[in-house]
Structures are given as structure tokens and as C-alpha cells.
Amino acid sequence: QAGWYLDDARELADAAPYTFYLPSAEVLQMLQPGDSVKLVFRCDVENEHGYSAERMWVEITEIEGDEFRGRLDNEPLYIPGLAADDEITFSSYHVIDTQLDDPVPNIASQYWQRCFVTGRVLYDEQPVGCLYREDPAASDGAPEDFSGWNLIAGDEDDDYLDEPDNWHYVALGAVLNIDDRYIDLLEAPYDSEFEYDEDRQAFVEILEDEYD
């Protein structure tokens, strides 16, 4: 298999635990010849488009313990030395998806709802310093998948926060991948606000009368 290799799905899940779906051991044990699984094929050299990996389906032809053999069911666009119908050997830890229903709930599916987050957190990867939840029903035109949460680093000034381009609409899981210290607060009711207290090393709730 010169020119390409397979990603380890466990490493991908470790890097993005709240957004990457990792098939459970139970669904992997259900696989039979004829089923299809998705693998990540990667090469060391980027092509002219800047791509170095492709997610493609493989139809299983043989299973022996934790080892699989299958037939590539896609036509590669970017991976050199690989073509549709090529024989692929792989292990269960290479599988990133199956066509079977997974009987085990996955953490990535729990945080699919979206939030607004500043670029200081999302791109500069600063920890969340403040988060507040608004009622989507009270906002005209709020998307159906809006959780109500808004997350900021806490060092943004008013000019930064007033600039729409500095806000990004993403899944809660994408922010949790960066900082998950507040995960237990996400079920808080609307109109809740929390701020990280460096002295206590914890988030504390901000109450309305504290502003009076």
C-alpha cells in the first residue's frame, strides 16, 4: 500500500472527543462480510488542493478476529497508489463509521446543538471565561438548533464583541473540544450566566441583583 496509510480512529476521537463519532465495540462486533465501513486514508504529501486524506467506504469480504479484509467501494480523488476495488486490510480501530445502527449512544451526539462563540475561544483556543444562555424563543429568527448558549473568553472588549465577524455559530461539541470545564453547566435554564473565578478555580453563577 505504498503512498498511503490508514488513520487510527482512536487517535482522532482523542483529539476531538465531543465531535468525533467513534463506533462502539458492540457495533464493531456486529459487522459481517458484506457490510460496509468507513476508513480514513491518508498520504504524506498534500495535493494541489491541500488535501492529504479521504474518508472512503470499504465493503468487508473477510473477518478474522480483529482483522478485516475488504474491497474499496469509492474512487479515490487524491490518494496516490489507490483505486476502487483495491483490496484493503485493516483493523477494527481503523473504522470511523459503519452502515449499522450503533446500539451505544455516542458522546458526539449529545452536543450537536449549536452556540455562539467568539474567535478568541474558537480560533485562538483561549479557555471559556464567561457563558450565558438566552431563550431562543425570545430571539427573532433564532435557528432551531440554537442551544441558547453564548461563550466568550472574557478578555474581549466591547468593540470586539460588537463586531459580528468575531462571533461564530458552531456545535457545542466544537467548543468543548477546546475547553470542557463548564460541561456540567450546559443544562442550566435560560437566563443563566456564569463567570470563571480564578481564585476559586471554578465557574460561579452571576445573579441579576449583582448588577444593581
Chain segment 87-146, per-residue pLDDT in tens:
999 999 999 999 999 999 999 999 999 999 999 999 999 999 999 999 998 877 778 899
For 4, what's the count of Cα atoms within 13 Å in the CB-facing half-sphere? 24
Q: What is the pLDDT along the chain (212 residues), one digit of tens a residue?
A: 458 999 999 999 999 999 999 999 999 999 999 999 999 999 987 666 667 899 999 999 999 999 999 999 999 988 888 999 999 999 999 999 999 999 999 999 999 999 999 999 999 999 999 999 999 988 777 788 999 999 999 999 999 999 999 999 999 999 999 999 999 999 999 999 999 999 999 999 998 755 44
**What backbone torsions phi and psi does residue 51 show, to the nearest 5 degrees?**
-95, 140
Beta bridge partners of 53: 42
Residue 99: DSSP 8-state: S
Residue 165: DSSP 8-state: G
Element (H, E) at 11: helix 9-15
- Shortest CA distance to 170 belongs to which of 114, 111, 129, 86? 114
**What backbone torsions phi and psi does residue 43 show, to the nearest 5 degrees?**
-125, 160
pLDDT (0 to 100) of residue 41:
96
